[in-house]
Chain A
Amino acid sequence: MTEEKKSKNSKGKKKAGKQAEEQSQLNFKEIEKAVTGVQDWDSGESGSSDFEPVVSDGYDSLTDTGSESVQLTESENEGDGVRDSAYDVSSETDSSEDEVAPQNTVGYDAPEESDSEDDDAPEESDSSEDEVPPRNTVGDIPFEWYREEEHAGYDPSGKKIKKKERENKLDKYLEMIDNAKNWRRIYNERDDEVVELTKEETKMIRKILKGMAPHPEFDPYQDSVDWVKVDKAEHPFPDAPEPKRRFIPSKWESKMVVRLVRGIRKGLIKVDDKPKEEDRVYLLWSDDPNSTDRHHIPAPKPKLPGHEESYNPSLEYIPTEEEIKSYDLMYEEDRPKFIPKRFTSIRSVPAYDKAVRETFDRCLDLYLCPRTHKKRINIDPESLKPKLPSRKDLKPYPSKCYLEYKGHKGPVVSISTDSTGQWIASGSKDGTVRIWEVDTGRCLRVWELGEAVQHVAWNPSPELSILAATVGQDVFLLKTGFGTEEEQKRVDDLLQFQSQTIPDASGGSENIVKWSQDDIHGGIRLNHFKTVSSVEWHRKGDYFSTLMPHDILFSILYWFLFWLLFSATKLVKKLETGLREVSSIAIHAGGDNVIVGSKDGKLCWFDMDLSSQPYKVLNCHKKDINKVAFHRSYPLFASCSDDCTAYIFHGMVYSDLNQNPLIVPLEILRGHASLNGRGGVLDCKFHPRQPWLFTAGDDSVIKLYCH
Chain B
Amino acid sequence: MPKHYRPPGKKKEGNAAKYITRSQAVKYLQVSLSVFRKLCILKGVFPRDPKKKVKGSHHTYYHTKDIMFLKHEPLLEKLREMRAYEKKVEKANAKRNKAHAERLLSRKPSYKLDMLVRERYPTFVDALRDLDDCLSMVHLFASLPPSKRENIEVDRVHNCRRLSHEWQAYISRTHKLRKTFVSVKGIYYQAEVEGQKVTWVTPHELQQVLPDDVDYKVMLTFLEFYETLLAFVNFKLYHSINVKYPPILDSRLEALAADMYALSRYFDASSKASKMDVEDVEMSEAQLTENGDERAELEESELRLAQLQHQLPKNEPGALMHLLGEAEGNEEDDVDTIKCRNLFKNKKFFLSREVPRESLLFVIPAFGGTVSWEGEGAPFGESDQSITYQIVDRPTQKRKFLSREYVQPQWVYDSVNALILLPTEEYAVGRVPPPHLSPFVDNEAEGYVPEYAETIKRLQAAARKEVLPMPGVGTEDLVDSQNLLVEGIIDRAEAFEAAETQRKMNIRQTQYHNELRMELKGTQYSSIINASTQDTVERRDTEESPSDSIQTAKDADDMSKIGVSRRTRGLIEAMEIGNKKKRSRSEHLEKRRREIKAAQQS
Please give the residue numbers on chain A whose beta carbons come within 8 Å of chain B beta carbons, in ascending order. Answer: 274-275, 278, 280-285, 288-292, 294-299, 301-302, 304-307, 309-317, 320, 338, 340-341, 343-347, 349-360, 362-364, 366-372, 377, 381, 384-386, 388, 616, 618-620, 647, 663-668
Cβ < 8 Å to A, chain B residues 17-47: 37, 40-41, 44-47
Most buried by B among A291, A309, A343, A364: A309
Binds A, one of B123-131, B494-502, B526-534: B123-131
Of all chain A residues, which has the CB nearest B186? A352
What 0/1 pattern do residues 465 to 506 of B give for CB contact below 8 A with A?
Answer: 000000000000000000000000000000000000000000
- Partner of A366 from the list B46, B118, B559 (CB cut-off 8 Å) is B46
CA A624 – CA B542 in complex, angstroms? 32
Which residue in B181, B211, B393 is a CB contact (below 8 Å) of A305?
A: B181
Q: How far is the CB of A274 from chain B (nearest CB, A)?
A: 6
User: Given the interface contacts A284-B235, A316-B592, A663-B563, does A356 sit within 8 Å of B209 by beta carbon?
Assistant: yes
For B65, the chain A residues whose CB sits under 8 A away are: 295
Please choose the segment from B93-101, B198-206, B311-319, B513-521 that sits at the chain A interface, where 4 or more of its residues have CB less than 8 A away: B198-206
Given A282-B235, A305-B181, A311-B182, is A366 in contact with B393 using a C-beta cutoff of 8 Å?
A: no
Best-buried of A292, A307, A313, A315 by chain B (most CB within 10 Å): A307
Taking a contact as CB atoms closer than 8 A, the residue among B47, B208, B436, B571 that contacts A384 in the complex is B571
The interface of chain B, by Cβ under 8 A from chain A, is 37, 40-41, 44-49, 60-61, 63, 65, 69, 106-107, 112, 114, 117-119, 121-124, 127, 129-130, 132-133, 136-137, 140, 144, 181-186, 188, 199, 203-204, 206-211, 213-215, 218-219, 222, 231-232, 234-236, 239, 245-246, 354-356, 393-394, 408-410, 432-433, 435-438, 440-441, 446, 450-452, 555, 558-564, 566, 568-569, 571-572, 575-576, 579, 589-590, 592-593, 596
User: Do the beta carbons of A351 and B209 come within 8 Å of each other?
Assistant: yes
Q: A295-B65, A302-B132, A668-B558 are in contact. Are A359 and B356 (CB under 8 A)?
A: no
Chain A residue numbers with a CB within 8 Å of B118 are: 284-285, 289
Report chain B residues within 8 Å CB of A386.
Answer: 560, 563-564
The A contact surface, by secondary structure, is: loop
A367 touches B37 (CB 8 A): yes
A347 touches B354 (CB 8 A): yes
Contact between B450 and A314 (Cβ–Cβ < 8 Å)? Answer: yes
Q: A304-B441, A310-B436, A360-B214 are in contact. List 18 more A-B contacts (CB 8 A).
A: A285-B123, A295-B65, A305-B440, A310-B181, A310-B182, A311-B436, A320-B592, A340-B184, A355-B186, A358-B185, A368-B60, A369-B47, A370-B47, A370-B49, A371-B49, A381-B576, A647-B559, A666-B559
Pairwise interchain contact B432-A344, C-beta atoms closer than 8 A = yes
CA distance A401 to B309 in the complex (A): 95
User: Is A346's CB under 8 angstroms from B409's CB?
Assistant: yes
Distance, CA A368 to CA B47, complexed state (A): 6
Chain A residues positioned under 8 Å from B209 (CB to CB): 351, 353, 356
Instruction: Kindly list chain B residues whose C-beta atoms are within 8 Å of the C-beta of A347.
Output: 354-355, 393-394
Q: List 17 A-B contacts (CB under 8 A).
A: A278-B112, A292-B122, A295-B63, A298-B130, A307-B441, A313-B436, A315-B435, A316-B590, A320-B592, A344-B433, A346-B182, A349-B204, A358-B185, A359-B219, A384-B571, A618-B563, A619-B562
Selected contact of A356 from candidates B214, B394, B437, B566, CB within 8 Å: B214
B235 engages A291 (CB within 8 Å): no
**Structural contact, B185 and A355, CB atoms closer than 8 A:** yes
Contact present for A363 and B435 (CB under 8 Å):
no
CA–CA, A274 to B103, complex, Å? 10
Inter-chain contacts of A359 with B (CB < 8 A) = 136-137, 140, 219
Report how far A620 CA is from B558 CA in the complex, Å.
Answer: 8
Interface centre among B45, B246, B592 (most CB of A within 10 A): B592
- Candidates A285, A295, A362; contact of B236 at CB < 8 Å: A285
Q: Choose one: A305, A352, A357; the contact of B213 (CB below 8 Å).
A: A357
Is B592 a contact partner of A310 (Cβ separation < 8 A)?
A: no
- With both beta carbons as reference points, the residue of chain A lying nearest to B144 in the complex is identified as A356
Bound together, the chains give a CA A278 to CA B114 distance in angstroms of 12
> Which residue of A has the minimal Cβ distance to B42?
A367
Q: Are B559's CB and A352's CB within 8 A? A: no
From A387, which residue of chain B is reached at the shortest CB distance?
Answer: B560
Please name all residues of chain A whose beta carbon is closer than 8 Å to the beta carbon of B239 when the two chains form the complex.
283
Residues of B within 8 A of A295 (CB): 63, 65
Please state if B184 and A352 are interface contacts (CB–CB under 8 Å). Answer: yes
Judge whether A310 and B206 touch: CB under 8 Å.
no
Indicate whether A317 sits within 8 Å of B589 (C-beta atoms), given known contacts A304-B440, A351-B206. yes
Q: Which residues of B contact A372 (CB under 8 A)?
A: 48-49
| Residue in B112, B123, B130, B446 whose beta carbon sits within 8 Å of that of A291 in the complex | B123
| Chain B residues with CB under 8 A of A274 | 106-107
Contacting B451 at CB < 8 Å: which of A314, A338, A354, A618? Answer: A314
Instruction: Check A305–B410 contact: CB distance below 8 A.
Output: no
Partner of A284, one of B114, B218, B562, B563: B114
Instruction: Considering the complex, give the chain B residue whose CB is closest to the CB of A668.
Output: B555
A residues within 8 A CB of B222?
363, 366-367
> If A310-B438, A314-B435 touch, does A304 touch B199 (CB 8 Å cutoff)?
yes
Q: Are B129 and A298 in contact (CB under 8 A)?
A: yes
A534 to chain B, nearest CB (A): 28
Minimum distance in angstroms from B48 CB to a CB of chain A: 6
Contacts of A278 in B (CB 8 A): 112
Q: Is the CB of B133 within 8 A of A362?
A: yes
Whether the Cβ atoms of A312 and B562 lie closer than 8 Å is no
- Pairwise interchain contact A356-B562, C-beta atoms closer than 8 A: no
Q: Decide yes or no: A281 and B408 within 8 Å by CB, A305-B185, A307-B438, A355-B140 being known contacts.
A: no
- Residues of B close to A309: CB separation below 8 A: 183-185, 438
Q: How far is the CA of A695 from the CA of B203 in the complex (A)?
A: 71
Residues of chain A within 8 A (CB-CB) of B219 are: 356, 359-360, 363
User: Taking each of B45, B121, B394, B562, which has the highest tally of chain A beta carbons within 10 Å of its own beta carbon?
Assistant: B562
B558: chain A residues at CB < 8 Å are: 620, 668
Across-interface contacts of B107 in A (CB, < 8 A): 274-275
Distance of A584 Cα from B393 Cα, bound (Å): 79
Which residues of the other chain, A, contact B199 by a CB distance below 8 angstroms?
301, 304
CB contacts (< 8 Å) of A377 on chain B: these are: 571, 575
A284 touches B435 (CB 8 A): no
Our pick among A299, A310, A316 for the contact of B183 (Cβ within 8 Å) is A310
Nearest CB on B from A401, distance (A)? 14
Instruction: Choose among A275, A346, A350, A367 the residue that contacts B40 (Cβ–Cβ < 8 A).
Output: A367
Closest 6 CB pairs of A and B: A351-B206, A370-B49, A304-B440, A665-B559, A314-B435, A316-B592
Complex contact A385–B123 (CB within 8 A): no
Given contacts A305-B181, A356-B211, A359-B219, contact A370 B48 (CB under 8 A): yes
Q: How far is the CA of A292 from the CA of B127 in the complex (A)?
A: 14
Taking a contact as CB atoms closer than 8 A, the residue among B47, B129, B592 that contacts A371 in the complex is B47
User: Which single residue of chain B is at the shortest CB-CB distance from A351?
Assistant: B206
Do B122 and A360 touch across chains, with their CB atoms under 8 A apart? no
Which residues of B are found within 8 Å of A363, using beta-carbon distances?
Answer: 41, 137, 218-219, 222
Q: Given the complex, which residues of B lie within 8 Å of A618, measured CB to CB?
A: 562-563
B140 close to A620 (CB less than 8 A): no
**Separation of A301 and B441 alpha carbons in the complex (Å):** 15
Assess the B46–A371 pair: CB atoms within 8 A: yes
Contact of A341 among B48, B184, B451 (CB under 8 A): B184
Residue ID in chain A nearest B38 by CB atoms = A367
Tell me which residues across on chain B come within 8 A of A316, comparing CB atoms: 450, 589-590, 592-593, 596
Chain B residues, CB < 8 A from A280: 112, 231
Set of chain B residues within 8 Å of A289, measured between Cβ atoms: 118, 122-123
B562 and A665 form a contact (CB under 8 A): yes
What's the Cα separation between A310 and B439 when bound, in Å? 10
**Minimum distance in angstroms from B257 CB to a CB of chain A:** 25
B556 vs chain A, min Cβ distance (A)? 9
Taking the closest CB of chain B, its distance from the CB of A311, in whole angstroms, is 5
How far, in angstroms, from A359 to B592 measured CA to CA in the complex? 33
C-alpha gap A302/B135 in the complex (Å): 12
Q: How far is the CB of B462 from chain A (nearest CB, A)?
A: 22
Give the shortest distance, in Å, between B285 (CB) and chain A (any CB): 18
